Amino acid sequence: MPIVDGGTDMVICKSLTHHLTDSMLDRALDESRRVLRSGGHMILLDAVLNKQRLAGRILWKLDRGSFPRAEEDLRKRLEDRFKVIHWDKFAIYHEYVFGIGVRL
């Protein structure tokens, strides 16, 4: 991103992670961490894969995102770079996670 190190207070990642390969996601999270100031917030909202949800399994077959991840994988990737101060899971058809991480 054309933003200086520590140049922003917040990064929002919405409905993106399931479109990225593992290496692309790692680079995006690393870059998000780089541009956040100390104490800045990383907001993440995305659908996650839960094989127990029939509606979700059907929707993943139709979704253009090729890299659905389990909740645990997405949370670990966030925790590897940020202090997670909020994590919530909810379902409509897909199961979703909403997480907030802080750059220390």
Tell me if 80 sits within 8 A of 44, measured CB to CB. no
Mean pLDDT, consecutive 10-residue stretches, the chain (104 aa), reads: 95 98 98 98 97 92 93 98 98 95 97
**Sign of the Cα pseudo-torsion (41, 92, 20, 70, in order):** positive
**Sign of the Cα pseudo-torsion (42, 93, 74, 4, in order):** negative
CATH number of 8-102: 3.40.50.150
**Sign of the Cα pseudo-torsion (74, 102, 44, 91, in order):** positive
Contacts of 52 (CB under 8 A, 6+ apart): none
So what's the pLDDT on residue 1? 82
Domain residues of the chain, as ranges? 8-102
The model's pLDDT over 62-82, given as tens digits with 9 standing for 90+, comes to 988 999 999 999 999 999 999
CA distance 57 to 60: 5
